[in-house]
Amino acid sequence: MLEKTIEISLLFDFYSQLLTERQRDMIDLYYNQDFSLGEIAETFQISRQAVYDTLKRTEKILYEYEEKLKLVQLFASKSDSIQKTLESVLSLEEEIQQGTPKEGLKQHLDKIKSLLTELLN
């Protein structure tokens, strides 16, 4: 359940502005503020079943947005590339401190250039 909560919260971060205000409020209360179905039903003065149906419909909508737009996937990919680039920079820094010959340093720089080029594409 925690994985789904994180996944829906991440999708919500990217696509919340494409939802209706009511959908945004219910997803936020349920997934981000940990309200129960009963508490949300009381807040909106509707049945728990209506809250459940709205949440399930909205989750489906969020997944469909991701399937079409792939913003979360792109974000994850870019974050991974940034992490790899940072690791390469730190490794290069270490090599410089150890007095590695220029040829070895050039290999690290080439790797960093490649990673940055990948980020830009």
Written in H, E and C, the secondary structure of 69-83 is HCHHHHHHHHHHHHH
The answer for residues whose C-beta is within 8 angstroms of residue 110's C-beta and 6 or more apart is: none
Task: Summarize pLDDT for 85-98 with one digit per residue, the tens.
Answer: 999 899 888 888 88
Residue spans of the domains in the chain: they are: 2-69, 74-120
Q: State the fold for domain 2-69.
A: Arc Repressor Mutant, subunit A (1.10.10)
- Does the reported pTM lie above 0.75? yes
Angle formed by the axes of helices 37-44 and 48-69, to 10°? 100
Could you give the maximum distance between any two Cα atoms of the chain, in Å?
Answer: 71
* Tokens read off for 32: 């981000």
pLDDT digits (tens, 9 = 90+) for 11-51: 999 999 999 999 999 999 999 999 999 999 999 999 999 99
